[in-house]
Structure 1
Amino acid sequence: MSGTLRIHWAITPEIAPRPLINCNRCGAVKAYCCSDKFRVNANGKRIDVWLIYRCIDCDNSWNFGIFERCNRRDIEPALLAALESNDPALARRHAFDVVTLRSRVGRVEEFSDVAVHKQRLGDEGERATALELRLALEMPTSLRLDRLLAGELGISRSRLQALEEKRLLVVDPEGAKALRKPARNGTTVRIDLASEADRKAIISAASG
C-alpha cells in the first residue's frame, strides 16, 4: 500500500483484574481490589511476601502470595527494597498478572478499560491512503481487537469486519477471527483507506 501512515499505539490497561473470593465477613463471593501494598514477613533467613487485596464492600483482606518461605539471599537486594517500600510499579506488575492470579483463585473479574498513547512514525499525514498501526501493550488486556480499533478510529465493528472481508484490513500475525480476539502486544494492523470517503477523519483519529 502506497502512502501509508505508520503509527505506534502504546496501550496501557487502566483497571487491575479483581479476584472473586468467598469473603468470610460478607458471607458471599466478593470482588477484591489490590491495595498496592506488600506485606513482607521475615522469619530468620526465610521471607514471605504477599500483595494485599481488600474486599470492595467490607475491606476484609486477602493475601496474594509473591514469595513463600524464600531464602533471603535468593531475593536481590534491590527487589527486596522495592517490596518493602511498596514500589508502585512493582505492585502494578503483580496486580495485572492475571494468569498467576487466576491460578490462585480461579475466578477473576477483568476490565477492558485502556489508555492509548499514539505516536506517528512518519509524516504522510493527510496524504496517506493507508494506515499501519503497531500495537505495544504494557500488559495483557481482555479488550478485543475490534473493540479497540472501533473505539479509537471512530468506526463500527461491522465496518471493520467488512474491510477485513475485502482484504482491506489485515492483521499480522494473522489468525482465525483475529479481530474478535484480545489485542496482543506486537500486533500490526494494516488498513487500506483509499476508497473510504471519511479517510481523513479515520487517519486523524488513528494518530490522536
Structure 2
Amino acid sequence: MSSPLRTRWTIAPTTAPRPLINCNRCGGFKPYRCGGKFRVNANGKRIDVWLIYRCIACDNSWNFAILERRNRRDIEPALLTALESNDPALVRRHAFDSAALRDQAGRIEEFADVTVRKELLDGEAERAAALRLELRLEGTTPLRLDRLLAGELGFSRSRLQALDDQGRLTIEPDGARALRKPVRDGLTVRIDLAGEADCGAVLSAAHR
C-alpha cells in the first residue's frame, strides 16, 4: 500500500477583525479599523500601551489595551522597542487576536478571507492514494473547515460529507463535527482517495 501524501497548510487570515464600538461622534455602533500603530504612555515607572483603532466613518479613535500599568522593569527591552517602533509583526499579532479584542469590545466583525501556504512534507502525488493534511493557523478565522477544504481541493461540500459518511475522511482530534466549525490550529485531516477519478488532481492541489 502506498503512503499518503503528507502536506502542511499554514493558514493566515487576510483581513483583521473589527470591533463594533459605540462611536460618540457618529451616535451609534460602528466598525473600527486597526490604525497600525501603538500608543505608548509612560507615567513614571509605569507603562501603558494601546493599539489604536479608528472609526471607519469619522476616524474617531478607540484604544485596544495591550499593557496596563506595567512596571517598565517587567517589560523585555526588545518588546518595548517593538511597541515603540510599531513593529508590523507585533501589530498584526494583536490585531488578529479575536479573543482579546472581543473581551474588550464585546462585539466584533470577523472575515473569512485567508491565504494558504502549502508545504509538501512527504510522499509523491503520482504514487499516493490518500492525503494527510496538517493545518497550522496564524491568528483566528471564522472560515469553516469544509469551505476551506472544498475551495483548496476542488471538492463540493456534499462530496466531503459523502467521504465522511463512508469513513474515508477523518479529522483529528475533533472528529467529523469539525467540518462545520471554524478552522482550528493543529487539526489533521486524512482523506482516502483510492479509486477516485480525480485523485491525482486533488493531491496536486493539496501541495501547490
TM-score range, shorter chain: over 0.9
Unaligned runs of 5+ in 2: none
Partners in 1 of 2:125 and 2:155 — Cα distance?
A: 19
1:4 deviates by 1.0
Structure 1: which 4+ aligned runs deviate by more than 4 Å?
A: none
Letter in structure 2 aligned against 1:177: R
Is the Cα–Cα contact under 8 Å of residues 2 and 127 in structure 2 kept in the other structure?
no
Q: Is the 8 A contact 2:164 2:176 kept in 1?
A: no
Q: 1: CA distance between counterparts of 2:180 and 2:23? A: 34
Output the CA distance in 1 between the equivalents of 2:40 and 2:135.
36
Alignment of 1:102-181 (within 5 A): 102-175=102-175, 177-181=177-181
Cα deviations by residue, 1:126-163 (Å, 9 ceiling, x for unpaired): 22111001111122221111011001001111110110
The one-letter amino acid paired with 1:175 is: G
Deviations 1:170-206 (A, max 9, x none): 1011335110111111111000111211111211211
RMSD of Structure 2 on Structure 1 (CA): 1.2
Identity of aligned pairs, percent? Answer: 70
1:206 corresponds to: 206
| 1:5, distance to aligned residue in structure 2 (A) | 0.6
- 1:32-51 to 2 correspondence within 5 Å? 32-51=32-51
Aligned to 1:24: 24
Q: How many residues align?
A: 208
Q: Secondary structure at the match of 1:159?
A: helix
1-structure distance, mates of 2:35, 2:142: 22
Residue number in structure 2 paired with 1:54: 54
SS of 2:57 mapped into structure 1: coil
| Structure 1 gaps, min length 5 | none
SS in 2 for 1:116: strand
Residue 66 of structure 2 corresponds to 66
Between the aligned partners of 1:125 and 1:200, the Cα distance in structure 2 is 6
- Structure 1 stretch displaced more, 119-128 or 36-45: 119-128
TM-score (norm 1): 0.96
Aligned partner letter, 1:46: R
Counterpart-to-counterpart distance in 1, 2:180 and 2:47? 43
Q: Report Cα offsets for 1:68-125 as digits up to 9, x if no partner.
A: 1221111111111111000111111111111111111110101111111111112412
Letter paired with 1:4? P
**Residue of structure 1 equivalent to 2:9:** 9
Report the residue type matching 1:118 in the other structure.
K
Q: Is the 8 A contact 2:170 2:176 kept in 1?
A: no
Normalised to the residue count of structure 2, the TM-score between the two structures is 0.96
